[in-house]
Amino acid sequence: MKETTVSTPLNRLSPLSVRERSACMCRHGFACSSFEAGHALHLIQARIASATRTEWADAIVEHADAATGELSVRTFDGATHALWNSGGAALEAPAGTPIALHVRYGVLAVGRTQFNVALS
C-alpha cells in the first residue's frame, strides 16, 4: 500500500514584497503590529532599557495630544523632548504627569506601563 503525503505548497515571498504589503494594524484601529519607533514595545527593547537603569530620566509631561499621539516632556535637568506614540501614551500621561524617559532606547514609563516612543 502506497502512502500519500499531503503538504501545503511553500509560498516563497521576497522580503521586499512583504515589506511593501505590510501596514501597521494601528492605522486601522487595531493593536499595533509594528515594532518601529512609536509603535509596539518589543520585549528586548523593554529588557535592555530596564538593564540600563542609570540612563532613565525623570520628567514631567508638558503637553499631550491624544488625537495625534504627540507628547512634549521636560526632564528635571531642563531638557525638552518631543515624543510620538501610537499606542495611547498621550491618553495615559496628560499634561502634568510625572514620567520616566529612556532616551537611548526610546521607552516612556508611566507608572508601571511602558511605551515605545519616537523621539524627534
- ∠ CA 83-85-89 to the nearest 5 degrees? 95
H or E element at residue 51: helix 43-51
Please report which confidence band the pLDDT of residue 18 belongs to, taking 50, 70 and 90 as the band edges: very low
| Rounded Cα distance, 84 and 32, in Å | 14
More confident residue, 23 or 110: 110
Q: Kindly state the average pLDDT of the residues 6-25.
A: 51
pLDDT at position 99: 97
Please report which confidence band the pLDDT of residue 42 belongs to, taking 50, 70 and 90 as the band edges: confident
Q: pTM surpassing 0.85?
A: no
Q: Kindly state the average pLDDT of the residues 95-100.
A: 97
* pLDDT for 60 beyond 60: yes
* pLDDT for 92 beyond 80: yes
